[in-house]
Chain A
Amino acid sequence: MSSGNNNNEVAMAQPPSRFEDVLHVLKRPGALAGDGFDADSGDDVMEMMQDSISLLVIGAGGLGCELLKDLALLGFQNMTVVDMDTIDVSNLNRQFLFRPADVGKPKAVVAAEKVNSRVQGCRVTPKHARVEELSLDFYRQFHVWVLGLDSVEARSYVNSVACSLLEYDEDGNVDPSSIKPMVDGGTEGFKGHARVIYPGMTPCFQCTLWLFPPQTKYPLCTLAETPRTAAHCIEYAHLIAWPRDRPDDEFDADNPEHMLWMFEQASSRAATFGIPGVTPQLTSGVVKNIIPAIASTNAIVASMCATEVLKIVTMCLRGMDNYTMYMGGYGVYTHVASYERDPQCIVCGAGIAIKTRADSTLASFRDALTSDSGGDGALPTDLRGKVTSPSISHGSSNLYMAHGPLEPLTRANLSKSLRELLFAEADMECERRTVTLMLNDKALAAPVRLRVTVE
């Protein structure tokens, strides 16, 4: 492809490509393109999207189905989709890759199959697994992670994985090559959000955890003594009556007999107290914590996310900065907010700087941290003396696991030197080096990053 004379070239002169809509924009300079966009390499960029970029789509539900379709129709061809669920009838009103005959099959497998067969050349690899079951090395292989999840817990987990990959230098500056950009979507009814996260540069989930409303939880004494609403009666059946009356059965919300029992228990409790409104629909809603969902909102939010993936990879347009809220119930209202990082964030922050000698053993390094001085004052005051039995890891390798089956397997590392544990032969020459270790302990809400400068 010739370079430098785009302005004089005739648009769409080449034979039409399948992805002409994207290619056309990639091959032309634009006033609102992102930093570093180069229209002259438009064809190469498209080739890269198809051949070398690989994307991780987390969730194959309402958003996940849309995301896979959207990314495939932008021209991305290497994707892996992770989902632990199987297909339920109630998914069919929006998870358009599934048909009644697919009920009971793993979502990831069916979704991958459908997209691969509809979009030629697309290679989606399914992973029927929980996000917690996948290794750091698995996560590390993807260029951009796209999240279509419905729980705060799963998001927080994936966020902590992305942040654990961050490498900071001695001064606390993040190494850009350690950043895995994440694009996240979420919906409820006619509402949703799309956001872009560059961990270490823009706010992570933990930085803006307040964006997620707290879940409704009822005090047990309300359920047991002063029920007032239908939901109270249902939660009573769920949390109190079931373990009391059926201690040997594990409750399964997908088992119709279990749900019927729950409904009957809730109904009879409601009747005792004269509380109206217990229905089978409400019972399943409360017990399964169902979030109402429709196809159109998932389509809107997922495609906003996929557009951002295209921008991250190609820079063809400025990126969304950094959170869009969409509300479609009362007219249409959207709002873009440029949230800021929490400098104190324990998940994405640069963490705690510590200096130590290369020949000190892991045991002495660890003992210093657990001492009352907290590693010679390295730990913040509120943690000194509180961290008593920490585990320490380096990337995906566990240096020492204080509890569980890995303890005996990692015990031998305690007597090894940090040089031996952390540096390859080639690095031995360096006088100073900063490595990121993760410290975990019962006293900590989440693992803490240690920026250890070894001399």
Chain B
Amino acid sequence: MADAGGSHKRKYDRQIRIWGDHGQARLQSANVCMLGCGPVGSETLKNLVLGGIASFTVVDAELVTARDTGNNFLIEASMLGTSRAKGVSALAQELNESVVGRFVEEEPAHVVQNNPGFFRDFDLVIATQLADAVAAVLDDVCRTHGVPLILSTCVGFAGTVRLSLAEHTVLEAKPDNSVADLRIARPWPELMAHAAAYDLSAMDDVERRHVPWVVLLLKHLHDWRLAQQPPAPETHVPTTGPEKRAFRDTLRAWGSSYVEVGHDLPDNFREALSNAYLAWTQPEVPSAAANVLSQASAVAMRAAASPVAGGADDLDVAPCVGFVPSGATTYAHALADVATTSAPPASAAATAEENFWQLACAVSRFVDQASGGGFLPLDGSLPDMTATTEMFLSLQNIYHAKAEADATAVASIALEVPRPRDRNHTAPPSAAACRHFCKHCRHINVLRWCRVSDELRNGISTVRAALANDGPSRDAANLYVLLRARDTALADTQTARVMREGTATAQEDELRRACGTVLRRACAGAHSEPLTEELISAEWISEIARWGDTEPHTVATVIGGIVSQEAIKLVTRQFVPLDGVLVYNAVRGDAAVLDVAKTA
């Protein structure tokens, strides 16, 4: 394959399997700004360049020292004394010829303070080792331009990572342990009828051993309802312990009745037994999705009402009138045509994401209306199970048909949702986009981060509980306070001198004093009990003092790796980004996320 598309597909094959062609396309159009190219910046850059971003721009004013040749793989000995930004850019660029590399030989803090417009055209800004005060200014700049920001620090054997942007919506969250939405407790009529059509007593043994467990559970639940005194309604499920036990026992007895005494249960009955809990698992809306749906209407309305930023006011008329009936039939037609493969056309995924709030609003209305009956649109997936080909495919068709019907219903509701003012001249979300949205809507999510300046004001009082409790986040809370304290001590010339040149004892004393300062500042004006440096562990004070300004390569690499994972999540709009401040503790070898960066 000589064409760039084909060779790209092969080169990026192992990651396209994770985020798909549409995720890869997003990555390949991302322009990333990297502030600082010490080991954290260089390692982040390495990972993102390998992944195939469009371009990077390194901002760094340092000259290469001996230390750089010992902790940074994008530096080589021949670069001693030359521009670090230039050296790192050259070796980063060399990792992937498809990526464009640029560099600016200037102090990052200087650019932040003097040239805020510089950041406007990036898709993502990543800052490494920035002082807190500069980070707060950069955050304001990035928010003004609507550019997502990732902040990171590495101090010895610890470090932090934090994202900052006003809002990030996630459609393809791709959770690890998603249980299929099979609606066994609340089947729709076609599914009930499908199960009812199976007559096990009329089957031969081979056929009977292939009846899908979903059908077995549906039939058994139906029989269980009829056997109640008086017979229970169609929404009733076993709820008490004895009821559930009895349900399982009678299910096992049913299966045993088809085998000789002493023989094992057939595979399909065993599968039914291990999935029996689904008979009383109600199809709930997960809390993250419920959170999105609860605000979807308000957000969609606000977007529809807000003035447009580009002077497209003349396109103000909603073009939906007259479109609804013909649109609805078109959808039904289109939905039937498209093969049911898992990968959506890239444009459908993009359209679904662009219209996130409008489609979330439509889904929210769908759930409330008779068509949804309180449930989310079905995603239509059916896990593999013991069955004949015909039995499995016909059951799969029932699920697909319901998913298509739900997506069609959502699509027609979506036409009634007011469109954002800046997009109402474009076509409404396509059928494929609605289907894509419905397929993923059980795990939609919205994240919002508070401003860095707010975190600097309130973060420490937020971690006070973690500081006092003997829990896994106690170390993280200690490190969080200490890194803030260290930043405060380094911001002052006098104390910075002690921190860098004093004796070990003097350094520890200075650090402890700085902890007291930031803790007292955190409770100024608060009515709660004051926090003092006594709360901070002497062990951690001694280690932070010991580590000084070091950035051991392997700790920097963990931080850089986490930053690049988060960058990929932001850029591909897949998976769920980090919503707090991550504190990495290389002593224990773990990381904890402190809840100090969300908006109230």
**Which residue in chain B gives the minimum CB-CB distance to A309?**
B554
- Assess whether B546 is in contact with A306, with CB atoms less than 8 Å apart: no
- Assess whether A228 is in contact with B553, with CB atoms less than 8 Å apart: no
Give bound CA distance, A262 to B254, whole Å.
42
Question: Per a CB cutoff under 8 Å, which of B67, B504, B558, B580 touches A7?
Answer: B504
- Assess whether A90 is in contact with B10, with CB atoms less than 8 Å apart: yes
Q: Which of B154-192 contact A (CB under 8 A)?
A: 156-157, 161, 173-176
Say whether B148 faces chain A, with CB atoms less than 8 Å apart: no
Give bound CA distance, A314 to B562, whole Å.
26
- Assess whether B553 is in contact with A89, with CB atoms less than 8 Å apart: no
Question: Per a CB cutoff under 8 Å, which of B14, B94, B589, B591 touches A94?
Answer: B14
What A residues does B547 contact at CB under 8 A?
A: 24-25
Q: A93-B50, A297-B565, A300-B561 are in contact. Are A70 and B588 (CB under 8 A)?
A: no
Say whether B587 faces chain A, with CB atoms less than 8 Å apart: yes
Say whether A422 faces chain B, with CB atoms less than 8 Å apart: no
- Assess whether A11 is in contact with B95, with CB atoms less than 8 Å apart: no
Question: Per a CB cutoff under 8 Å, which of B17, B94, B589 touches A285?
Answer: B17
What A residues does B174 contact at CB under 8 A?
A: 329
**Which residue in chain B gives the minimum CB-CB distance to A274?**
B393
- A3 → B minimal CB distance (Å): 15
- Assess whether A190 is in contact with B565, with CB atoms less than 8 Å apart: yes
What B residues does A21 contact at CB under 8 A?
A: 67, 70-71, 550-553
**Which residue in chain A gives the minimum CB-CB distance to B547?**
A25
What is the 8 Å Cβ interface bit string for chain B, positions 63-105, against chain A (1 contact, 0 not)? 0011101111100110000000000000000111100000000
**Which residue in chain A gives the minimum CB-CB distance to B267?**
A219
Question: Per a CB cutoff under 8 Å, which of A30, A275, A308 touches B543?
Answer: A30
What A residues does B50 contact at CB under 8 A?
A: 92-94, 96, 295
Say whether B11 faces chain A, with CB atoms less than 8 Å apart: yes
Give bound CA distance, A30 to B66, whole Å.
26
Give bound CA distance, A31 to B553, whole Å.
22
Give bound CA distance, A328 to B550, whole Å.
26
- Assess whether B341 is in contact with A279, with CB atoms less than 8 Å apart: yes
In this complex, how many residues of chain B approach chain A with their Cβ under 8 Å: the count is 93
Say whether A318 faces chain B, with CB atoms less than 8 Å apart: yes
Question: Per a CB cutoff under 8 Å, which of B384, B507, B540, B588 touches A336?
Answer: B588
Q: Which of A12-20, A164-172, A238-246, A429-437 contacts B (4 or more CB under 8 A)?
A: A12-20
Say whether A341 faces chain B, with CB atoms less than 8 Å apart: no
Say whether B570 faces chain A, with CB atoms less than 8 Å apart: no
- B567 → A minimal CB distance (Å): 8
Give bound CA distance, A73 to B66, whole Å.
12
Give bound CA distance, A290 to B71, whole Å.
33
In this complex, how many residues of chain A approach chain B with their Cβ under 8 Å: the count is 88
- B71, B548, B553 — most chain A CB neighbours (10 Å): B553
What is the 8 Å Cβ interface bit string for chain B, positions 30-45, against chain A (1 contact, 0 not)? 0000000000000100
- A120, A194, A294, A308 — most chain B CB neighbours (10 Å): A294
What is the 8 Å Cβ interface bit string for chain B, positions 7-24, against chain A (1 contact, 0 not)? 100111111111000000
Say whether B444 faces chain A, with CB atoms less than 8 Å apart: no
Say whether B277 faces chain A, with CB atoms less than 8 Å apart: no
What A residues does B393 contact at CB under 8 A?
A: 228, 273-275
What is the 8 Å Cβ interface bit string for chain A, positions 187-202, against chain B (1 contact, 0 not)? 0011100100000000
Q: A10-B503, A19-B70, A317-B157 are in contact. Are A294 and B341 (CB under 8 A)?
A: no
Say whether B439 faces chain A, with CB atoms less than 8 Å apart: no
- Assess whether A17 is in contact with B13, with CB atoms less than 8 Å apart: no
Say whether B505 faces chain A, with CB atoms less than 8 Å apart: yes
Say whether A292 faces chain B, with CB atoms less than 8 Å apart: yes
- Assess whether B539 is in contact with A329, with CB atoms less than 8 Å apart: no
Say whether B442 faces chain A, with CB atoms less than 8 Å apart: no
What A residues does B580 contact at CB under 8 A?
A: 331
What B residues does A10 contact at CB under 8 A?
A: 501, 503
What B residues does A232 contact at CB under 8 A?
A: 384
Question: Per a CB cutoff under 8 Å, which of A7, A317, A332, A336 touches B505?
Answer: A7
Say whether B402 faces chain A, with CB atoms less than 8 Å apart: no
Say whether B280 faces chain A, with CB atoms less than 8 Å apart: no
Q: Which of B127-135, B317-325, B359-367, B571-579 contacts A (4 or more CB under 8 A)?
A: B571-579
Give bound CA distance, A68 to B231, whole Å.
69
**Which residue in chain B gives the minimum CB-CB distance to A66?**
B557
What A residues does B587 contact at CB under 8 A?
A: 32, 317-318
- Assess whether B175 is in contact with A299, with CB atoms less than 8 Å apart: no
- A274, A293, A296 — most chain B CB neighbours (10 Å): A296
Q: A25-B546, A303-B558, A327-B176 are in contact. Are A118 and B76 (CB under 8 A)?
A: yes
Question: Per a CB cutoff under 8 Å, which of B14, B503, B591 touches A293?
Answer: B14
Say whether B493 faces chain A, with CB atoms less than 8 Å apart: no
Q: Which of A223-279 contact B (CB under 8 A)?
A: 226-229, 232, 273-277, 279
Question: Per a CB cutoff under 8 Å, which of B10, B18, B388, B590 touches A226?
Answer: B388
- Assess whether A293 is in contact with B554, with CB atoms less than 8 Å apart: no
Say whether B57 faces chain A, with CB atoms less than 8 Å apart: no
Question: Per a CB cutoff under 8 Å, which of A16, A74, A279, A329 touches B553?
Answer: A74
Say whether B339 faces chain A, with CB atoms less than 8 Å apart: yes
Give bound CA distance, A330 to B548, whole Å.
33
What is the 8 Å Cβ interface bit string for chain A, positions 303-326, against chain B (1 contact, 0 not)? 110111010000001101000101
Q: A94-B50, A295-B564, A299-B561 are in contact. Are A18 and B593 (CB under 8 A)?
A: no
Say whether A353 faces chain B, with CB atoms less than 8 Å apart: no
- A250 → B minimal CB distance (Å): 23
Q: Which of A97-144 contact B (CB under 8 A)?
A: 99-100, 118-120
Say whether A28 faces chain B, with CB atoms less than 8 Å apart: yes
- Assess whether B70 is in contact with A75, with CB atoms less than 8 Å apart: yes
- A25, A74, A331 — most chain B CB neighbours (10 Å): A331
- Assess whether A310 is in contact with B554, with CB atoms less than 8 Å apart: yes
- Assess whether B503 is in contact with A229, with CB atoms less than 8 Å apart: no
Give bound CA distance, A66 to B69, whole Å.
17
Sampled A-B contacts (6; CB under 8 Å): A9-B503, A30-B542, A119-B73, A226-B388, A226-B392, A293-B15
Give 19 A-B pairs besides A17-B70, A277-B341, A324-B590 with Cβ atoms closer than 8 angstroms. A9-B504, A12-B548, A18-B67, A21-B550, A25-B546, A32-B587, A70-B554, A93-B13, A228-B384, A279-B341, A294-B18, A296-B561, A299-B564, A300-B562, A300-B565, A307-B555, A307-B586, A329-B576, A334-B590
In the A-B complex, the 8 residue pairs with the smallest Cβ-Cβ separation, listed nearest first, are A18-B70, A320-B589, A300-B561, A303-B557, A299-B561, A73-B553, A31-B539, A296-B564
Binding site for A on B (CB under 8 A): 7, 10-18, 43, 46-47, 50-52, 65-67, 69-73, 76-77, 94-97, 156-157, 161, 173-176, 210, 339-343, 384-385, 387-389, 392-393, 500-501, 503-505, 507, 538-540, 542-543, 546-548, 550-555, 557-558, 560-562, 564-565, 568, 575-580, 582, 586-593
